[in-house]
Structure 1
Amino acid sequence: MRTLIFIMGLTAVTFSCRDTGLPYDASGAFEAVETIVSAETAGVIKELSLEEGQELSIGQVVGYVDTMQLYLKKKQLEAQVAAILSKQPNIATEIASLQEELNHAKIEQERLTRLVQADAATPKQLDDAIAQVNIIRKRLEAQQSSLGITATSLKEETTPLYFQMEQTNDQLTKSRIVNPVKGLVLSKYVEANEMVTVGKPIYRIADLSTVILRAYVTGDKYTRLKIGEQVKVQVDENEQDYRTFDGVIEWISDKAEFTPKAIQTKNERANLVYATKIRVKNDGTLKIGMYGQVLLAHDTR
């Protein structure tokens, strides 16, 4: 977001009634906090449902950029992942025969143990059976380890592909043009079916429920200003009358500057002034660039 300033040649310093006879203490032009919404991905805008002057809400989807290439890339990545994972061994199936062989060897060992106890078999036969069980068990453990390493390796191969899919999903999400702030569309820079690149402005929007009057005061009034002070802001209603709004000073410059060159007389241009920002609740009548004048609290009438 950034504040774009619309001075419009009207922003001016005014002086106290005692010094100039003017019926106000400061004057200037209204501005607003504006947001330029830009494209977050490149492509052709397939849909853009907004017009200048349209009110938009936060999170409202106003269009999207063509996503066909991103969609195809995502499907390709999914196919690559599936192809790699299809090579994963079925560990239970691969070791089933060895497990069966081990079970048989254990039964033979138990049988020979009983025969030795009954003096129907020799201790060597039992030792051979025990050795056979140990050999098969080690073969089984080695096979399980090898198959586990293979499965882990294949899963690791898919990790970069999953990250690429997340990146593609993020790009797909950013292809939707989602309005970030509540406000009024001030300018529209592109139309549907136009090509955009990342960062290209699409439209400009501002929340005009409150506006800011940037006014300038002279040094004799500067010391009487306070952040949060209530002031009266007037705008022309007709040739004789003004409409009055309540305003609050939200910023006061700590540096003096020469009066903006919009001031026409040489004497007025010579004065040093201080910029202020006055926030005003807008009932819909205040527009960016409109002239306004300020009455400080000590001088309201």
Structure 2
Amino acid sequence: MARSRPVAVVTGASSGIGKAAALALVGAGFQVIGTSRDAARIAPVAGVTFVDLDVTSDESVDAVVRQVIAQYGRIDVLVNNAGVGANGAAEEFSAGRAQAVFDVNVFGLMRMTRAVLPHMRAQHSGRIVNVSSVGGFVPNPFMAVYVSTKHAVEGYSESLDHEVREHGVRVLRVQPGPVNTPFDANQVQADAPLAIYAHRRRVFEDVMRESMRGGEDPAAVAKVIAAAATDAKPKPRYLAGSTAGRVAVLRRIAPARTFDKGVRRLNRMTG
């Protein structure tokens, strides 16, 4: 009897990288369940079943994982893609506003991971692919809260991978550079803006828009996610796109002072 198709769950699959990843996994032979806060508003996508999910809710996460297991009997791949950006100087974010960003980008990912791990361990196989960012290993002024969430994802993912590998499960990171999506238009804004940062923040927003519009096609990142999900010998991390590759090389080989100056120059900062 032929084995049924492997099952993949992709969070934040309504648009951008998540939607492209869902399509790429369909093309790779997966039965794909895509999640969104409001699945009813998503146009049908061939091969993808959409369900409602709020990654900030334990109850929502547990219900979706139970639903998938009940219907398909297994989860072979989880792509933790759901996330939000955060725009503003670190000083302009209250602790509460920063916590809201962490609740999606970090704790949402942790909730999903904890919910699927028992099933993956029981079947002694599975891949968890966490969509990180070049911001997970380089600084980005006026994105300190967002960047700190991605640093957290990096540390969590790499550490967890060592914990679960002996149980047949791998935890992998995909690190895109700028991607041509509306990400910059849907960021969480600082809730305590200060006049002292206003000009520099506007400059950053211009740099960000230019970077995103010139960024990678989401399909290119999705191809890397599919590779992480299917490679016979997976790598702990996958750089996605030419910018990510260049930045990773520079971070590794450039003197710290030189790299620091490059960050400031890229962001049109003086001093």
- TM-score normalized by the length of structure 2: 0.20
Q: Name which one, 1 or 2, has greater alpha-carbon Rg.
A: 1
TM-score, structure 1 as length reference: 0.19
Report the structure, 1 or 2, having the larger helix content. Answer: 2
Task: Give the strand-richer structure, 1 or 2.
Answer: 1
